[in-house]
Structure 1
Amino acid sequence: MSFPEVCCNTPPVKATYIAKGARNTIGDLECYFSGSKDSKRGILVNYDVFGFHANVIQLCDILAEMGFYVVLPDLLRGKPLTEADLGKPDVFSSFTQNAGSWAVIKQEYAKVLGHFKDNGVTAVGVIGFCWGGKMVITALSELEGLAGGAIVHPALIETGDMAKVNAPLMVLPSQNEPDFTAEFDSMKDKPFFSECYMERFDDMFHGFCGARGDWGNAEQAKRANDAIKLLVGFFSRVLSK
């Protein structure tokens, strides 16, 4: 299990964005909140290895404008990977075994899911970018009560991962990810398979919808918007049942 080479060597894009939501905490976990707590449809967003980035904040706000209550937890506790870590495979390997491991992240997911429940949210979805895609796949396999999940230019996906999910899954790979056709088809016997969806963005690179996307570039912004539209459509369906 490893990151794509481009993930380990490509820096995040410097970007600015005026957030529409606000930061607060769930217990001791800092989070970015966007949207109305009155919404019954909640989405937990799992950022990529670069943590809170202007692009992911903006994506959260777009989802919130579509009627979802969105929570972006600071899963890495203020210590994301940085440009200084690029080109260091040992750092990325250590990350997956320690701060970025499911054993650690699972506890943080539980806090956010508890927050949704306490606020009357009745349907919860999860979105993961890069490393977050692995976390989402695992969450859909191990946690109860999730209505669906989406993984965008995911990393660390292994053979057999998708076959274990217990809720509808959307898969949006870029040109730098493997061919997930066989893995996606492994869900065909699931009762919810008709709600699953996969679309490749072979004209885009790993990270285009996250911290590595230059949304000042018209083509990259368009394709990121295309991906976001797919996410909105998917969660509008699976969180409305």
Structure 2
Amino acid sequence: MTCEACRTIPPVIAVGYTPKGTYSEIAGLKTYVTGSPDARVGLVDIYDIFGLSSQTLQGADLLAARLNAVVLIPDFFKGAAAHHDWLPPNTDEKMAALTAFMTNSASIPDAVVVLGKAIEEYRARFPSAKKWGAFGLCWGGKVTVLLSGPDSPFIASGQVHPGRMDAEDAKKVTIPHIVLASKDEPADVVKAYSEIIAGNGVGGHVETYEKMWHGWMGARANLEGEESLAEYKRGYNQLADFFEKHLEKADAKI
């Protein structure tokens, strides 16, 4: 077996996946916890608007195994989640339901405040993890990037098929940051992100998965399709490579 083969994520289960983690209340939120509680590295995985989906839980398990990390998915929505049939919001009823959800359960400003405070409890609960990173899927990507500026509690961060992308957010990033975009994100904003991150002096990577749709690594992942399964695997391996590189080489933030 080659060294490169040793450094890949575990096999992905396409159908009937059984999550490896457990649930615990941390910082007032039900939280999915996977990986070793004695890990030296911690990662916060912020889900998309569809919440604790099987595909998202499996992604967290893959990263925990590959990075030998403890990975947390806090349930910001407290058991609520968007319904797949709300999208596209092409009726008044769908638009009203989605708007109410985004304003209340999925308020991005509220989630930023909650996560900013929760990191201290994560450190207390998992004292061996001296280095913490974070990434988000869609909605979670916006939460993550807003906590990636000056005085960020994280060493490195990322966004996958980001929601509500704004180049102004990229200008405020002060830590290594990865963006894995789908073909559905606005190309001009992705390009602006790429240019800003390439020139900010702290490192990072921006890439578009040209054949993948918004959601291919989260709740809308199709793990039964040959191409989409391969790109799901590639995306999680790419995240693992990024966090391995930046968390391992960085000085710990205590």
TM range, normalised to the smaller chain? Answer: 0.7 to 0.9
Match of 2:137 in 1: 129
Is residue 69 of structure 1 aligned with residue 70 of structure 2? Answer: yes
Equivalent residue runs for 1:150-169 within 5 Å: 150-169=158-177
Is residue 139 of structure 1 aligned with residue 147 of structure 2? Answer: yes
**Do the aligned partners of 1:15 and 1:55 also contact (CA within 8 Å) in 2?**
no
**Do the aligned partners of 2:147 and 2:153 also contact (CA within 8 Å) in 1?**
no
Instruction: Decide which moves more: 53-62 or 75-84.
Output: 75-84
**Do the aligned partners of 2:26 and 2:122 also contact (CA within 8 Å) in 1?**
no
Distance 1:18 1:196, change over 3 A: same
How far 1:16 sits from its partner (Å)?
3.3
**Do the aligned partners of 1:15 and 1:54 also contact (CA within 8 Å) in 2?**
no
The DSSP-based 3-state class of the residue aligned with 1:197 is strand
**Do the aligned partners of 2:158 and 2:178 also contact (CA within 8 Å) in 1?**
yes
Match of 1:83 in 2: 84
**Do the aligned partners of 2:155 and 2:175 also contact (CA within 8 Å) in 1?**
yes
**Do the aligned partners of 1:171 and 1:197 also contact (CA within 8 Å) in 2?**
yes
Match of 1:102 in 2: 108
How far 1:143 sits from its partner (Å)?
5.3
Tell me the amino acid that sits aligned with residue 171 of structure 2. A
The DSSP-based 3-state class of the residue aligned with 1:209 is coil
RMSD: 1.9
How far 1:181 sits from its partner (Å)?
1.2
The DSSP-based 3-state class of the residue aligned with 2:20 is coil
Match of 1:175 in 2: 183
Determine which of 194, 200, 225 is the counterpart of 1:184.
194
**Do the aligned partners of 1:73 and 1:112 also contact (CA within 8 Å) in 2?**
no
How far 1:84 sits from its partner (Å)?
4.4
Identity percentage of aligned residues: 27
Match of 1:208 in 2: 216
Match of 1:116 in 2: 122
Instruction: Decide which moves more: 173-182 or 96-105.
Output: 96-105
The DSSP-based 3-state class of the residue aligned with 2:158 is strand
Distance 1:111 1:34, change over 3 A: farther
CA–CA distance in structure 1, aligned partners of residues 37 and 117 of structure 2: 16
How far 1:198 sits from its partner (Å)?
1.2
**Bigger radius of gyration among the two:** 2
How far 1:38 sits from its partner (Å)?
1.2
Distance 1:161 1:215, change over 3 A: same
Tell me the amino acid that sits aligned with residue 235 of structure 1. F
CA–CA distance in structure 2, aligned partners of residues 203 and 97 of structure 1: 31
Gaps of 5+ in 2: 1-13
How far 1:140 sits from its partner (Å)?
0.9
Is residue 225 of structure 1 aligned with residue 230 of structure 2? Answer: no
Gaps of 5+ in 1: 1-13
Instruction: Decide which moves more: 182-191 or 72-81.
Output: 182-191
**Do the aligned partners of 1:44 and 1:112 also contact (CA within 8 Å) in 2?**
no
How far 1:189 sits from its partner (Å)?
4.1
CA–CA distance in structure 2, aligned partners of residues 155 and 145 of structure 1: 21
Tell me the amino acid that sits aligned with residue 44 of structure 2. L
CA–CA distance in structure 1, aligned partners of residues 152 and 196 of structure 2: 21
**Do the aligned partners of 2:54 and 2:219 also contact (CA within 8 Å) in 1?**
yes
* Matched residue count: 226
Determine which of 191, 196, 209 is the counterpart of 2:204.
196
